[in-house]
A and B are shown apart, each in its own frame.
Chain A
Amino acid sequence: EDKVVQSPLSLVVHEGDTVTLNCSYEVTNFRSLLWYKQEKKAPTFLFMLTSSGIEKKSGRLSSILDKKELFSILNITATQTGDSAVYLCAVRKKSSGDKLTFGTGTRLAVRP
């Protein structure tokens, strides 16, 4: 059975802190790993990772994939209150109709 496990489940930090969110997976025929941010409503796309060791970066957010150890991390530096959200990790398999298997998410709260 495919598994996507995120840790920690929740996290409270202060503005300016750096956080690292973890996502480990056990799937056959791995194709890609995606990170989403979910505030009140729809998840919004952050990154898609397909190759090990290549960092994807967007402003203060960055992510990297390790296909040997089967995990990814999402880093947020100099956190702001607007980063408060649930961060979702999802994995896509080959030959699976493009569907995504999600982890339970990490709830991040950034205090002023």
Chain B
Amino acid sequence: NAGVTQTPKFQVLKTGQSMTLQCAQDMNHNSMYWYRQDPGMGLRLIYYSASEGTTDKGEVPNGYNVSRLNKREFSLRLESAAPSQTSVYFCASSIHSEMNTEAFFGQGTRLTVV
């Protein structure tokens, strides 16, 4: 079972370059999320999408944009990468905002901005 799939797994960018992190889930979940994880900081929410067609800012949205392309896919874009965006990025999904179930996570993308 695929679950939540993220691509790429690793990426190195130069400062100022742009890139899009892709995320897809095959569990028919309504809600999707992007988190970043930094040493000593835990997981911090960047953006989330409670349902297809809606997106909202999380705790640390600056420097990022998102697109909920359809129910399955939720992408995260860095328009002009900065060294402060070096992190591990996790995509997650959960079935529905009203159902209070656990979130399932992808395997992560390790991004380095030099």
Query: A residues touching B (Cβ–Cβ < 8 Å)?
Result: 4, 31-32, 34, 41-45, 48, 50, 88, 90, 92, 97-105
Interface size counted on chain B using CB atoms at 8 A: 28
B69: Cβ under 8 A from any A Cβ: no
> A92 and B31: CB pair below 8 A?
no
CB within 8 Å: A-B pair count: 60
- Is A99 a contact of B41 with CB atoms below 8 Å? no
Q: Mark B23-66, 1 if CB is under 8 A from A, else 0.
A: 00000000101010000111111001010000010110000000
| Complex contact B97–A42 (CB within 8 A) | no
Given contacts A41-B107, A42-B107, contact A99 B33 (CB under 8 A): yes
- Besides the contacts A31-B100, A48-B100, what 6 more A-B pairs have beta carbons closer than 8 Å? A88-B42, A90-B43, A97-B56, A99-B45, A100-B45, A101-B45
